[in-house]
Amino acid sequence: MLDIPAAGQPAHPAAPGILVILGASGDLTKRLLMPALLNLACDRLLPEGFAVVGMGRDLMTTEDFRSRQRADIRTFATRARVDEERWMWLESRLHYLSGEFDDAAAFLRLRALVDEVAAEVGATGNTLLYLAISPDFFTLVNRQLDAAGFTQMPGAKRIIVEKPFGKDLTSARGLNQSLLEHWPEEEIYRIDHYLGKETVQNLLAFRLANGMFAPLWNAQHIDHIQISAMETVGVETRGGYYDRTGVVRDMLQNHLLQMMAYVCMELPESLDPATVRDAKSTLLRSVRLMESGDVAGACVRGQYGAGKKADGSAAVAYREEPAVDPQSNTETFAAIRLHVDNDRWRGMPVYLRSGKSLWKRGTEIIVQFRPTAGADANLLVFHIQPFQAVEIRMYAKRPGPTFALQRAGMRFDYADSFEAARGTGYEVLLYSALSGDPTLFSRTDFVERSWEIVQPVLDFWSATPAADYPNYAAGTWGPLAAAGLLTRDGRCWHEILNAAVLSQSAFFAAAPAVLLNNLLLALRPLALEAGADVVVQGALDDCMYFVCRGELVALGAGGTSLGMVREGEFFGEMAVLFDQPRSATVRAITPCDLLVLDGPEFRRIVRDFPHADAEFRRIAVGRRSADEAVTAPDKAIPTP
């Protein structure tokens, strides 16, 4: 058994040190670094011997820098209230120097200021150099730092590098080489902010400390793994950066492969940083590299068109976003299937998916076990964000005199167990870097291998521009082909719903929590292209449908339109309630994202929730008597 530190041991303040931020007048400092430093200060995890020395191109004095940060922290602090006393403690430790990156003298002045401040606060011998700058300046800034003697400083020194780390395998190798010319590997700390997330770190803790899953953690018991990172935001103000980047470089190559490594690696024999990082790199080396001929069958790309934002307001198409090429071939969505060719996982796919301007924000890892006779597969769901939880989707006996099964969830929610305040994820990374612990940073071999994994996809896509962009509307589940990627393998994406999503439909807004829970576990996603028939007049089938996104039309005899079905509405309940053939054909007139409630689940739910039953019947009877196949039954279920 691994020696895992016991709970109850308080974390000690980090070692005394100076944090030098290159590019300190930029966004990263105010949005992420200062809030993280304040959180650390509030938790007494920064030592008395600590100071920040910022250098940037903006002409400012230390006083200006302090007052700018003082104003910005009100906007970007992550805790409910700014602790004024702790802020003043931190603010008095902020220093600033203006300088251009091509000015060697500025780096000499920086060096002198760092020495002076370090002596003043008693932090000599532990220097963190944080490159909060575009990678275009890495080579130049490293040369300047070296020339100013930073690489020769006495004591510990570390260089912290932000992503993007390269734009492809060749440039990543080039960047690594230029860093390694000045700094040995152990002094290079490459940030992937996902590793700072509690729920991502918990992947390793979960596997290490809960041995009951260990015997099941292989392709013999697990059917497949899905890792989805979905965002509702578009590219916002970052069009220029994003259009050169795309989602594979922005999310898959780093954040998603990091999570995959934690889920799939062999468990390390110790928590020693090198051992953990070796295990992750070994896993990536076992990931099968695609040939260009594999890409079309294993990967799907997408780019968003006009649609809706999460709040219902209009969203512009990606190609109309500021600083984006109106003919851009950049992907804002990608789904890819990977294989790990080692003894543990041979034959079992891992699906990665990420995109911008999607229907919901949520990062989830789903481990789908192989089904056993008589019941669907069990799922183990890691809710990474915004919900922080681990959940097992399983079966339980229904209360009552007969032996019957029902879907159920067994869930551990962070909010129920911990009072810990939410951070930016940078707290743990800064704390680790000050303490000289590189576990949560990406090593050269990991970064280069992750580029090797995505490079065939990038090459194939840049050589064959997409003919169908934009191929998904903003605010939807993504391109239809992504569903096809799994359907062809006899699987489906699990769209993890939550009560907040269901409550967007007025019908569910007032529904009791227990009914929502039943629905969350029972609904399954169905994505359709425009023109597809969901139900066909006269057919006998046994499902009802909720419209998440899109528009459908109900057609009677001879194709006459009986009315529209829109977002937030449902249809198909009559055939299920009254056991009758479909009275109308319902056809998608735009691409549609539907949630399907299969007949047996629907009947069970209306049996268990008489108020829901009454409401469904009232609507269904109303439709029948009005001789309408479909109306707009967006009514609230009364709370019992």
Q: Which of residues 226-285 bind ligand BG6 (CB under 6 A)?
A: 231, 250
Q: How far is the CB of 195 from ligand BG6 (least distance, A)?
A: 11
E runs forming strands in 14-136 = 17-22, 50-56, 94-98, 126-131
Q: Which of residues 83-142 bind ligand BG6 (CB under 6 A)?
A: none
Of residues 124 and 253, the one with the C-beta less far from ligand BG6: 253
Residue among 270, 248, 629, 282 nearest 458 (CA): 248
Q: How far is the CB of 79 from ligand BG6 (least distance, A)?
A: 17
Of residues 250 and 593, the one with the C-beta less far from ligand BG6: 250
Q: How far is the CB of 250 from ligand BG6 (least distance, A)?
A: 5
Distance CA 444, CA 429 (A): 18
Residue among 395, 392, 361 nearest 376 (CA): 395
Of residues 148 and 263, the one with the C-beta less far from ligand BG6: 263
CB atoms within 10 A of CB 173: 15
Residue among 592, 602, 585, 535 nearest 569 (CA): 592
Q: How far is the CB of 255 from ligand BG6 (least distance, A)?
A: 6
The DSSP code for 10 is P
Of residues 27 and 48, the one with the C-beta less far from ligand BG6: 27
Counting Cβ atoms within 10 Å, is residue 453 exposed (0-12), middle (13-18) or buried (19+)?
buried
Largest CA distance in the chain: 87
Interface characters, 352-391, with ligand BG6 (x: CB under 6 A): ----------------------------------------
Distance CA 247, CA 241 (A): 11
3-state secondary structure of 480: helix
Percentages of the chain per state (helix, strand, coil), in multiples of 5: 40, 20, 40
- List Cα–Cα distances, 487 to 304, 493, 591, in angstroms: 22, 9, 17
Of residues 231 and 448, the one with the C-beta less far from ligand BG6: 231
494 labelled catalytic: no
615 counts as binding ligand BG6 under rule CB under 6 A: no
Of residues 200 and 584, the one with the C-beta less far from ligand BG6: 200
Residue among 327, 318, 136, 326 nearest 242 (CA): 318
Cα atoms in the 13 Å half-sphere on the side-chain side of 31:
4
User: In sequence order, what are the beta bridge partners of 94?
Assistant: 52
Of residues 221 and 238, the one with the C-beta less far from ligand BG6: 238
Amino acid at 625: S
CB atoms within 10 A of CB 633: 19
Residue nearest to ligand BG6 (CB): 250
Q: Which of residues 401-440 bind ligand BG6 (CB under 6 A)?
A: none
Q: How far is the CB of 231 from ligand BG6 (least distance, A)?
A: 6
Distance CA 609, CA 616 (A): 11
Of residues 49 and 423, the one with the C-beta less far from ligand BG6: 423
User: In sequence order, what are the beta bridge partners of 397?
Assistant: 405
Q: Mention every residue, 6+ apart, whose C-beta is less than 8 A from residue 16.
A: 47, 48, 49, 50, 121, 122, 123, 126
Query: Quick one: tokens of 502?
Result: 């269901």
Cα atoms in the 13 Å half-sphere on the side-chain side of 206:
20
14 phi, psi to nearest 5 deg: -65, 170
Q: What is the 3-state secondary structure (H, E, C) of 565-594?
A: ECCCCEECHHHHHHCCCCCCEEEECCCEEE
Q: How far is the CB of 567 from ligand BG6 (least distance, A)?
A: 25
Q: How far is the CB of 194 from ligand BG6 (least distance, A)?
A: 7
Interface characters, 188-227, with ligand BG6 (x: CB under 6 A): ----------------------------------------
Query: Quick one: tokens of 624?
Result: 């029948």
Distance CA 355, CA 451 (A): 19
Of residues 279 and 496, the one with the C-beta less far from ligand BG6: 496
Of residues 70 and 309, the one with the C-beta less far from ligand BG6: 309
Q: How far is the CB of 259 from ligand BG6 (least distance, A)?
A: 11
Of 182, 224, 255, 383, which one is the catalytic site residue? Answer: 255
Task: Please give the size of the binding site for ligand BG6, defined by CB under 6 A.
Answer: 2
By annotation, the residues acting in catalysis are 255
Binding site for ligand BG6 (CB under 6 A): 231, 250
